[in-house]
Structure 1
């Protein structure tokens, strides 16, 4: 699995930096609220705008990539992230930060959906091994994001935004140098392709499962800094532990669990465990020790689920990999967009309410998954993607040509 072309490692490195953005703002949510005079629901819009724009933009990533090629799409996304993150740090109002956080989300959409398809298409070995690499990059990025945000946030809440912008410049240069040109394949993906792909029951089932699961995920991520009421650096340490466990279980535990009991049971175990953790946080919101321990433990269940459910998406639908990734991401980020704002509103009434609602959303995810259990269970019999991926051969050849 580790013997990959340098192009795969270049994209993976850029993924690490891109995924830093998810948890980067966690440690500075409360400092932003305090300095700019905003409440939890207002500051939580930093997640909502980011996720909402990212989800909607996923619908056009395949359309763009098929017309300008994977490399140009990746580079365009990185440039937009650099601009959005950098300008967000210059704003003097929550509204301004939220607006440029949305720009950041647009860039992330172009990058993330294309990066997953590029890694799966160019990596040596199975689809599952390629996804483990992708999830490892996700986990490392999510883990280091809060650490960077906490360290820089101690100096100023603006510095984490500037830090990501600078790191993205490095990722941009690495991607531009390491990736060979990937011209359009000649097959132009219709803009409606992701929505049509959701007509496939398997993809829709997994997507809706991820939507409700992400509701709990981003409730934990966006709201927990408020009841913790710690400094930026301390919150960064908590979510660093969360991200480290997420990365470990996604890379090490998830594949072993899948081999031992299968994809469907593995996802169910992760979802049930996560729902229980959220319920415990709702019951013991007054205890910082419980909140810290549960936050870190939740990372273990989230890592397992992320790897298994992403592999299920890439196998379950008979459509191109890029289209499957875009359709799935569009649906799941809708859950991520609503949760931070709602958690903030509920948290202004009582700190325990967001966790109970989040736990309920994860229970709904379990019920949705069980409704399509026969389809999801069948992915273990598929060694590769369920369809002949129209978009991948030419781009995969181009991506690996420099390493041949």
Structure 2
């Protein structure tokens, strides 16, 4: 059974890595078939319950223990005698190839997650240490997420390098950059990821609305060309956030979302001249969730919403900056980094992945405003 499960895992990972013009649905099509063949009567509920009760540390220890038993010299000698040297050698080669393919899948996942790790770190920057810990599980070390991903990627690279594994020679479905271990330190990787996030934010803004795209360009142009650059760039940043939130969902939309999903959170609304209106945090939360029902554990959405509110508040203060110092410019650029991170996470996971094509809805809302 263990070898059958390993074979199914390897075949599934190969399908996922093999892009070759196929959609995700097409690459995942074989997963259910393999699972049904392994467990025709369904996976035993008792095993599921046992696994669900295990902590991450216990799972890790069980895997280490199993791998340790397989790698014991006595175990290897016994299997060698049982199967014969030639068959045992072929099995060892096949096993190492399977492990290499699985680790290639881990490498692709890690590298795909690097921009999101950087996005969440940047989004969390305006929060207090307590808020970061409560909402994002981050320590006070700002680079903890990306640093962890980089170290895991380097561990995978060490496995390949120590065994002199040539991934291209294996014929695996890999991208060119996946054939080698990353040769960068954390600072270099952070710079690369922030450039990627900058490009992605500009691309998304252009897709959604020319108005948003102009606000982003105006931010950079003000800082580099204007005598009153800090104040003007801060104004562009505030206007970008306000235009994005109020066009995506007007006050009535946000109030309805709060009434439906957050009725007990009284600090999301306030009275203005006898009329109930949503707070900035309510608008940011509604946007972060794409007006959908929050998941049971949606602390990351709460974190990016709070980040957007804090970025706006800090930029509002800088609008009135008269000195325009290097420190104020650096602060403003940091705020823009945080906004990019918040938007990248929100648009990728709660807008683009929504089942009802929320992203197209967002574009249509801006088109209607532009045509009015």
**TM norm structure 1:** 0.24
Larger radius of gyration: 2
Bigger share in helix: 1
Q: Which has the higher contact order (CA 8 A, sep 6+)?
A: 1
**TM norm structure 2:** 0.25
